[in-house]
Amino acid sequence: MYTSVITDTTLPEVNLGIRGNGHHPIVSIQRLNVYAGNHHILKNINLDIPKNKITVLLGPSGCGKTTLLKCMNRLTDLYHELKVTGDVWIDGDNILKSNDNIAALRQKMGLLSQRPYPLPMSIFKNVAYGIKLKGIYDKKLIQYNVEKYLREVGLWEEVKDRLHQPAVGLSIGQQQRLCLARGLAVRPQIILADEPTSALDPISSKIIENLFKELKKNYTIILVTHVLRQAVRLADHVVFMSYGEIIEEGAPADLFKNPATEKLREYIYDGN
């Protein structure tokens, strides 16, 4: 499992750290609290995320799933009103405490948001952007990697003739796959996906889902979804949250068949 991440040596590796083997959690969150003024958004979260698995975050709207994802790559820094305490260990680094090179830390994680935000540039440059940030300027190498990752998300055939046109010209489903390609191109270890299919039609959703199944061989995926069936199809590990707390977590088979708490039972049965 460990080696599969680095079999392709065309790009320099991010530091895989001391925790980079399959038996340890790749993300370990301890006593995480997030406040916005008086509002206690995340309440004492303790959570381990297994490596090279799909972990699904479930929970009613407003329970703090997006906020939890943002804590993992410190996008909470962007919001002056959020106060974050606790520890988030990613691959041996306590990212909330360490202040050096957040940009490199963030490159260990790819982000796929609810709606795609293509950068204001061409399709090609969208994928090349992160590669260049890693200090790679060799044209051939960039070209090779852009093609590689566009193929990986199944977009290459659709866009190969218009690589230099603006990315905003693509359909939303294509944009979402472009955003995935652009995220993969920086060679992260973890993919943070926040309802990545909520703006997509069933066919595009299916494409993304299948990609995730494929990608989990090499990546750890943390997926937020409101679609229970999607959770059932994809999850290796399920975390159910409510009002900023983790209520239950476990293997999907156990959790969905025998929910231990009333809250989860309600969520599952009233939802469908």
Integer Cα distance of 232 and 63 in angstroms: 20
Interaction partner, residue 203 (ligand ATP, Mg ion, another protein, none; CB < 5-8 Å by kind): none
Size of the site for another protein (CB under 8 A): 34
- The amino acid that residue 258 corresponds to is N
Express the helix, strand and coil content of the chain in percent, nearest 5 each. 40, 25, 35
Measured from the CB of residue 145, what is the shortest distance to ligand ATP in angstroms? 32
Decide whether 67 or 107 has the Cβ nearer to ligand ATP.
67
Binding region for another protein (CB under 8 A) out of 31-39, 92-100, 122-130, 203-211: 122-130
Q: What phi and psi, each to the nearest 5 degrees, are found at residue 213?
A: -60, -40
Integer Cα distance of 57 and 68 in angstroms: 9
Integer Cα distance of 251 and 234 in angstroms: 11
Measured from the CB of residue 113, what is the shortest distance to another protein in angstroms? 6
Give how far Cα 133 sits from Cα of 129, 210, 219, 226, Å: 6, 29, 21, 33
Candidate list 118, 173, 244, 252; residue touching another protein; CB under 8 A = 118
Provide the 8-state DSSP code for 22: T
Decide whether 192 or 207 has the Cβ nearer to Mg ion.
192
Decide whether 103 or 203 has the Cβ nearer to another protein.
103
Residues 137-166 that bind another protein (CB under 8 A): 166
Binding region for another protein (CB under 8 A) out of 92-100, 104-112, 195-203, 241-249: 104-112
DSSP assignment of 6-26: TS--SSPPPP--TT-STTSEE
Integer Cα distance of 244 and 45 in angstroms: 8
Told to check if 244 binds another protein by CB under 8 A, we report no
Residue with tokens 């990752």: 149
Told to check if 227 binds another protein by CB under 8 A, we report no
Residue with tokens 């002056």: 80
The answer to whether 129 and 178 are in contact (CB under 8 A) is no
Q: Are strands 25-36 and 82-90 parallel, antiparallel or unpaired?
A: antiparallel
Binding region for Mg ion (CB under 5 A) out of 44-52, 61-69, 84-92, 236-244: 61-69
Integer Cα distance of 52 and 185 in angstroms: 18
Binding region for another protein (CB under 8 A) out of 26-34, 44-52, 98-106, 236-244: 98-106
Told to check if 174 binds Mg ion by CB under 5 A, we report no
Candidate list 77, 138, 254, 266; residue touching another protein; CB under 8 A = 77
Decide whether 66 or 230 has the Cβ nearer to Mg ion.
66
Binding site for another protein (CB under 8 A): 70, 73, 75, 77-80, 103-104, 106-107, 109-111, 113, 115, 117-122, 129-130, 133-134, 166-168, 179, 182-183, 186, 192
Contact footprint for Mg ion (CB under 5 A): 66
